[in-house]
């Protein structure tokens, strides 16, 4: 196909005009008063502030471990000399994900305690059932000489109470009523799966 000189010049002129229009849209150098309504809308879309997210280093606390089998769980609970804090959770559980950062902060704050994450899997469902885990997330606290001393719900609504209970054991400030309740919880774990905690 043959183009005349005038046709080619017309095409070049239109191309330059289109390029100039696109450039003005992309650079947004024109003052707002000189922009068309379309340009203003495009500028608002492109320059809209992106919500900032709180930065996290993604590191798991050094005193937190993951346990997936009953044998491993019993071994750790029965041999450690530390206060043990356990979170039972499921990877697909939204409530579990919501309190995970708070649980990790407890581990960071109480470095002398051992924290354990126990995810629900097809292989360890007997562990959760044997310990009477009726809901998720759920927490246990084991004392090195008292065994299982606390078992509580750990959802967002109940997590502050769980944190306060943990603090009483860290501070060694437990009353007689709490000790009696702990003994009842300990008996349930012992009767079901022989999980006693470290012997005195």
Residues labelled catalytic: 93, 96
Within its chain, how far is the Cα of 145 from the centroid? 31
Whether the upstream peptide bond of residue 40 has omega within 30° of 0, thus cis, is no
41's tokens: 């809308």
Distance of alpha carbon 75 from alpha carbon 91, whole angstroms: 24
Half-sphere CA count of 185, side-chain side, radius 13 A: 20
Backbone angles phi, psi at 55, to 5 degrees: -75, 135
């Amino acid at each position: 196909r043959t183009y005349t000189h005038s046709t080619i010049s017309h095409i070049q002129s239109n191309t330059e005009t289109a390029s100039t229009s696109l450039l003005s849209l992309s650079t947004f150098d024109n003052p707002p008063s000189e922009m068309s309504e379309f340009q203003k809308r495009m500028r608002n879309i492109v320059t809209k502030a992106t919500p900032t997210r709180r930065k996290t280093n993604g590191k798991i606390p050094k005193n937190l471990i993951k346990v997936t089998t009953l044998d491993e769980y019993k071994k750790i609970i029965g041999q450690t000399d530390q206060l043990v804090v356990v979170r039972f959770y499921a990877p697909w559980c939204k409530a579990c994900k919501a309190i995970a950062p708070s649980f990790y902060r407890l581990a960071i704050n109480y470095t002398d305690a051992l924290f354990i994450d126990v995810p629900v899997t097809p292989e360890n469902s007997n562990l959760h059932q044997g310990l009477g885990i009726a809901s998720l997330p759920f927490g246990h606290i084991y004392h090195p000489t008292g065994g299982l001393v606390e078992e509580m719900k750990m959802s967002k609504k109940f997590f502050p109470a769980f944190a306060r209970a943990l603090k009483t054991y860290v501070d060694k400030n437990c009353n007689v009523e709490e000790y009696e309740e702990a003994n009842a919880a300990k008996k349930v774990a012992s009767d079901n799966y022989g999980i006693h905690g470290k012997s005195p």
